[in-house]
Amino acid sequence: MRIVIAEDDALLREGMTLLLTGEGHEVVASVSTPDALLAAVAEHRPDVAVVDVRMPPTHTDEGIRATVEARRHHPGLGVLVLSAYVEQSFATDLLTDGVAGVGYLLKERVGRVEEFVEALHRVASGGTAIDPEVVAQLFTRKRAVDLLGRLSPREREVLALMAEGLGNAAIGERLVVTDGAVHKHIRSIFMKLDLLPTDQTDRRVAAVLRYLESHTEDPGELRRR
């Protein structure tokens, strides 16, 4: 298998090169910038490219944009994207568009040699390889969205204000409703979100967490790269 690696972390880039070479694969180019990735793909026509999501100069989505361009010019190119954490917007597109020959792994999987190499083979042969953690986070978010779909527009307003940290009295003032009406809405929210009264769970906190899960595009941003 002929491979191009695009990763701006020199230590990780060299480590992957040694790992893959040791596994009997040919690393035809190892680069650190999106432009160098495009040039390497055009020159070497590899079977698969291993690409970091965030690359210079801004370390936002350069790797993704370079990947899209590379596949536009070389449709048969397999791409395995690596990220330090789950990039929800890209992962969602990847799962829903049914794109062949594309994989998405968290960088921590590189150290699990068998999993990493297996993902590369799958992508190179036109399949997909999605990190289990990516799938888990997307399904968690989907469930939160589905549950919030049960709420009425007024209940959504109440929950959004709860998420802002407002107490019942402040919510009532903001929405110009009575304290009793706020209590009624909150009880309904708990019921529709399947939050039953237990000694172990603070239902108000749990409801706000469900709201935040459904509105967070990239929870991994909370962790440092």
pLDDT in tens, the chain (225 residues): 999 999 999 999 999 999 999 999 999 999 999 999 999 999 999 999 999 988 999 888 888 888 888 988 998 899 998 988 766 555 555 554 445 788 888 888 888 888 899 889 988 988 877 776 665 565 556 566 678 888 999 999 999 898 877 889 999 999 999 999 999 999 999 999 888 776 556 788 778 877 776 765 443 433 333
Q: How many whole angstroms separate alpha carbon 19 and alpha carbon 111?
A: 9
Within 8 A by CB and 6+ apart from 165, the residues are none
Q: What pLDDT is attached to residue 224?
A: 34
Strand, coil or helix: 50: strand
Q: What pLDDT is attached to residue 103?
A: 83
Upstream peptide bond of 57 is cis (omega within 30 degrees of 0): yes
Q: What pLDDT is attached to residue 136?
A: 58
> Domains in the chain, ordered, with CATH?
2-131 (3.40.50.2300), 151-222 (1.10.10.10)
Q: What pLDDT is attached to residue 157?
A: 92
Q: What pLDDT is attached to residue 216?
A: 54
Q: What pLDDT is attached to residue 114?
A: 87
Q: What pLDDT is attached to residue 62?
A: 87
3-state secondary structure 95-142: HHCCCCCEEEEEHHHHHCHHHHHHHHHHHHCCCEEECHHHHHHHHHHH
The pTM (predicted TM-score) of the whole model is 0.61
